[in-house]
Amino acid sequence: MNVLYQPFDTKLDTALFSKIKNEDYLPAFQHAIQLAKAEVDAIVKNTDASTFENTIEALAFSGSLLDRVSNIFFNLNSAETNDEIQKIAQEVSPLLSEFGNDVRLNPELFAKVKAVYDQRGNLNLDPEQATLLDRKYKSFSRNGANLPEEKKKQLREVDKELSKLSLQFGENVLAETHAFQMHITDLNELSGLPDGTLEEARSLAKSQDKEGWIFTLDNPSYIPFVTYADNRELRKKMAIASGARGFQNDEFDNQEIVLKIANLRFDRAQILGYATHAHFVLEERMAESPETVKSFTTDLLAKAKPAAEREFKQLTAFAKELDGIDQLQKWDGAYYSEKLKKQLFDLDDEKLKPYFQLEKVLEGAFTVSEKLFGLTFHEIFDIDKYHEDVKTYEVKDETGELVAVFYADFFPRKGKRNGAWMTSFKSQSVENNKNERPHISIVCNFTKPTETKPSLLTFNEVTTLFHEFGHALHGMLADTTYPSLSGTSVYWDFVELPSQILENWCYEPEALALFAHHYQTGKTIPMELVTKIKESASFQEGMATMRQLSFGLLDMGWHAQDPSNIKDVKTFETEQFAATQLYPDVKENAMSTAFSHIFQGGYSSGYYSYKWAEVLDADAFEYFQEEGIFNKEVATKFKENVLSKGGTEHPMILYKRFRGHEPKSDALLKRAGLL
């Protein structure tokens, strides 16, 4: 019997990863799609008058098995994939795309949904029900339900093609990330590199029966290398290899795929009656239109650019004085920034890392959430996991009630994509008076423990862990009725608020005292280091802001216009980056061909939302600072109006209910030192 066909019948209803075989997935998807189709058919064939309950609510709870199978499968395709799983993904994605279109383009179903929508004024719905009705109606109207048959057919073809291309894009990036290794046998070439980085590189070489050291494009290897290696030629080699992923005219080249995706998205928007893909996407965002995003970006750029140019000039002068370098290149940025930061603040990551042992930082995130939201985390060892590195926890509230199951997966490996993300294996919802609690996971790529040292994090990795943990809290504290409005199912430019606000605690002495203890001596991080962390928080913030804005501008470049005239990815990028360029261009590199956020993840026309959410998070955190960073009253307001509410109401309504006013950008500009 296929283990994915029925409920798992396990402790806390957790997934039975060890019992699922790769050959189970395809039949499970086919089975779950059939079940979901039957549920939709039952709604369509119901001869009673259409009501909120028998149509909208019934649809909201349909397809639960399909959601569960999809969550498990696609999460593993990101965190623990192999050739077989990737092949299944290529088979399954068109099936899911087709099923989605079967539902959205079903005229009888849409007629029933529209009948309820048309009488919405008389239905006495609460805010969550009203939002669900609005979302359900728009999921049809915005996806072709009002189109003539011929156009519906075109839409199906476009969607099927897009689902295949974005998978292929991700597989190519993963393949190129893993294809590159730099094998060094002479220790003299590695001066400047921290012991931990060398030890990790040595153990990778050993695992391949090689002498010396092996460096890869995985972040825990790549970032320390370009930050600390004195050998400029080797930094260049690493940086060019990273920037060339998907851009090498080989079997994993993504240039054609990028052009195809951009054009298909534009075609899709046109079929649906929108000017561009960005117009389509932004209609359901806080920003609402490409014009708003452009003016927001232009405004921030005007404030950040003078600071960025000053900082770049300072960095250039510093590199010239130190090493006689006339022209800074991209592979010099992190290296000289780290040295300059050390000179200005007497602060470097290697000095900080001993205070940030991974286990302690994780406990710190737990303690912060206990102080703010009354949560406790208990490690459990009797539920299944998909890899031995994964840690599992039961999360409870102050009354001892289950809040969530939490999975934490921290180290790089062959089947895992780069970066860090939060996801869920099971959504929260309330059905038949039972509050189904969510199963939430965070996935990162931190340095593994070695024979002599535990996993020690850079400060940047500490904020990454807190960032993803903020997303996790949004998922764990969800308390809504309908799964599609639960947790992080919010407008995309609101989703980064819970994650980005939590990063602020990493800079506060009161919070650092909870977890920043030296891994050997147990001593708390000295106050002078904390002061330096705070002082250096806005170091090169102008350049960092310009970098973020450049990614957002590239995203809007691909999606806020007709891309059919773009013939060459590299030429187009060069034009898009003109306003934000500081370093000379590298002809062997392209950004778009490995820009997974917008060509594989869900950030197309939405990359600006990182900066947008920074405005929200700076404004929101100012409230905590005014009242005390562990103030229970403010924390409860944040939990009740933001974290638990998911997408049940418009985010601006939720934000104002928490904060008392609309967000102001002053707090961000002040924090970034750009005022």
Q: Which residues are catalytic?
A: 468
List C-alpha distances in Å: 96 to 32, 80, 110, 201, 654: 10, 21, 19, 41, 33
Q: Which of 190, 30, 62, 35 is nearest to 136 (CA)?
A: 62
Q: How many residues are there in the chain?
A: 675
> What's the burial of 324, exposed, middle or buried (CB within 10 Å: 0-12/13-18/19+)?
exposed
For residue 314, count other CB atoms closer than 10 A to its CB.
13
Residue 559 CA to residue 263 CA, distance in Å, equals 9
Residue 59 CA to residue 56 CA, distance in Å, equals 5
Residue 663 CA to residue 287 CA, distance in Å, equals 13
Residue 471 CA to residue 418 CA, distance in Å, equals 18
3-state DSSP assignment of residue 374: coil
Residue 252 CA to residue 501 CA, distance in Å, equals 37
> What's the burial of 15, exposed, middle or buried (CB within 10 Å: 0-12/13-18/19+)?
buried
Q: What sign for the dihedral angle of Cα 197, 198, 199, 205?
A: positive
Cβ atoms of residues 247 and 590 within 8 Å: yes
Q: Six-digit token pair at 423?
A: 């996801």
- Phi and psi at 144, nearest 5°, equal 100, 5
- Phi and psi at 384, nearest 5°, equal -70, 150
Place of tokens 């199912």: 489
Question: String of b and e for 599-621 (b: at least 16 CB within 10 Å)?
Answer: bbbebbbbbbbbbbbbbbbbbbb
Q: Six-digit token pair at 354?
A: 């001993």
Rounded to 10 degrees, what is the CA torsion of 70, 74, 75, 79? 160
**Which residue stretches of 526-674 are H helix?**
527-535, 541-559, 569-576, 596-599, 609-627, 632-638, 651-659, 666-671
Residue 1 has, within 13 A of its CA and on its CB side, a CA count of: 6
Q: Which of 263, 329, 313, 316 is nearest to 588 (CA)?
A: 329
The H-or-E segment that residue 440 falls in is: strand 439-443
